[in-house]
Amino acid sequence: MEGIKVELHRDYRYTIDVENGVLEELERYNDTFFRYEKAVIITDANVAPLYLKHISKQISQAGCKVHELVIAPGEHSKSLAKAEEIYHHFSEYNMTRSDLVVALGGGVVGDLAGFCASTYLRGIDFIQVPTTLLAQVDSSVGGKVGVNLSKGKNLVGSFYQPQAVIVDPNVIKTLPKRNFSEGMAEVIKYGCIYDKDLFNRLYYDRGNEIKNGLAEIIHRCCAIKKEVTEEDEREGGLRKILNFGHTIGHVLEAYFNYQKFSHGEAVAIGMYHITVKSEKKGITKKGTADKIKSILEKNDLPYTMPYLEQDKVEEILFRDKKFSGDKITLVLLKEIGEAVLVKMDRNQLIEFII
């Protein structure tokens, strides 16, 4: 499958490669790895036993000295404390701007490793090697990196593009069912906001078609994000549509201290709930929410909004980095495949959530 070429500011270009088995053939990237004296692979304790040694060996064979860092899995590792720990390791390894960081893992690893690469010595090159469906279709692409604070998700971060994104759909076979389902939430999101044909392909799937065509679906999602990012790298306009379901999703994650819902599950609930509300207000075509509910059920994703205390919701919600003054832009649907951006104040937003 042809690589997706991303072309951004100042003639900055990189390629997203989506190909079954590509992690068995990293020698094709020898010219890339050969440019660096050292590489630090950052991964987590779930991924390390499956892929770390094999990836490390292949990069070493390109003549690059490799160091390995293994972090605890889970959202709580995406913190300033963990970033500081990684900086100390970088210092011990005598990392320079001529070296490389490799993010091998899911969204937490990619966000954290990318953030550390973007800030240590004011910027070290990094490569994304996503190993979850969610990371492959979304978080590894587009250059958003960051960490969480106790007060909210992704409150500290930067826009920092990778040198390459290497996606092997074969690794999805090792994912637990729940992790696969949460990745499908982001795939469904792309269909909702941008590609009706993709949505319909998922909606009418009879079981095996999606998994058999997973590489093609991942490729399409990456291509959509590439198109959106090229037009609006820093989320000044169009890129905001990628936040569909995320305003509520981030509230749910934080409200339950990242214990009850995974990111994809929280986004799934957010997409359905916000569409029910926007249908009632006449913004969204009738029947859209039911379609989203059906597709979420088919993918074993939740859609029911739990009871939330308004005071706690407001405390979380009003720290959202997407606020501009007293306004926030909420992503709604006109219909499947077409998103609309609606600016609203805090009171209007609360009406959509509670």
- Determine whether 225 is an active site residue: yes
Residue 14 CA to residue 6 CA, distance in Å, equals: 5
Looking at residue 10, its pLDDT comes to 65
- Determine whether 208 is an active site residue: no
Q: pLDDT tens digit string along 237-247?
A: 999 999 999 99
- Determine whether 273 is an active site residue: no
Which residues are part of a known binding site for Zn(2+)? 186, 246, 263
Looking at residue 11, its pLDDT comes to 66
Q: Which of 205, 164, 163, 166 is nearest to 188 (CA)?
A: 205
- Determine whether 239 is an active site residue: yes
Tell me, what DSSP letter sits at residue 147? E
- Determine whether 243 is an active site residue: yes
- Determine whether 19 is an active site residue: no
Residue 263 CA to residue 256 CA, distance in Å, equals: 12
Exactly one of 19, 186, 233, 253 is catalytic; name it: 186
- Determine whether 206 is an active site residue: no
**pTM metric for this prediction:** 0.93
Residues 6+ positions from 300 with CB-CB distance below 8 Å: 177, 178, 181
Local structure of 70: helix, strand or coil: strand
The answer to whether 126 and 101 have CB atoms below 8 angstroms apart is yes
Looking at residue 2, its pLDDT comes to 86
The answer to whether 284 and 332 have CB atoms below 8 angstroms apart is yes
Q: pLDDT tens digit string along 69-107?
A: 999 999 999 999 999 999 999 999 999 999 999 999 999
Q: Which of 333, 346, 265, 345 is nearest to 299 (CA)?
A: 265
Residue intervals in the chain for CATH 3.40.50.1970: 4-171
- Determine whether 201 is an active site residue: no
- The CA-atom distances, in angstroms, between 84 and each of 12, 38, 147, 209 are 29, 20, 11, 44
Exactly one of 19, 235, 265, 279 is catalytic; name it: 235
The answer to whether 144 and 101 have CB atoms below 8 angstroms apart is no
Which residues are part of a known binding site for NAD(+)? 107-111, 131-132, 144, 153
The encoded tokens of residue 113 equal: 């490793």
Intervals of the chain under pLDDT 50: none
> In b/e form, how buried is each residue of 131-167, taking b as 16+ CB within 10 angstroms?
bbbbbbbbbbbbbbbbbbeeebbbebbebbbbbbbbb
Look at the domain 176-353 and name its fold.
Answer: Dehydroquinate synthase-like, alpha domain (1.20.1090)
- Determine whether 346 is an active site residue: no
CATH number listed for the domain at residues 4-171? 3.40.50.1970
The type of residue at 62 is A
Exactly one of 144, 189, 201, 293 is catalytic; name it: 144
**Strand ranges, E, within the chain:** 4-7, 13-18, 38-44, 65-71, 100-105, 125-130, 144-149, 152-159, 164-167, 323-324, 327-335, 338-345
Residue intervals in the chain for CATH 1.20.1090.10: 176-353
Which residues are part of a known binding site? 107-111, 131-132, 144, 153, 186, 246, 263
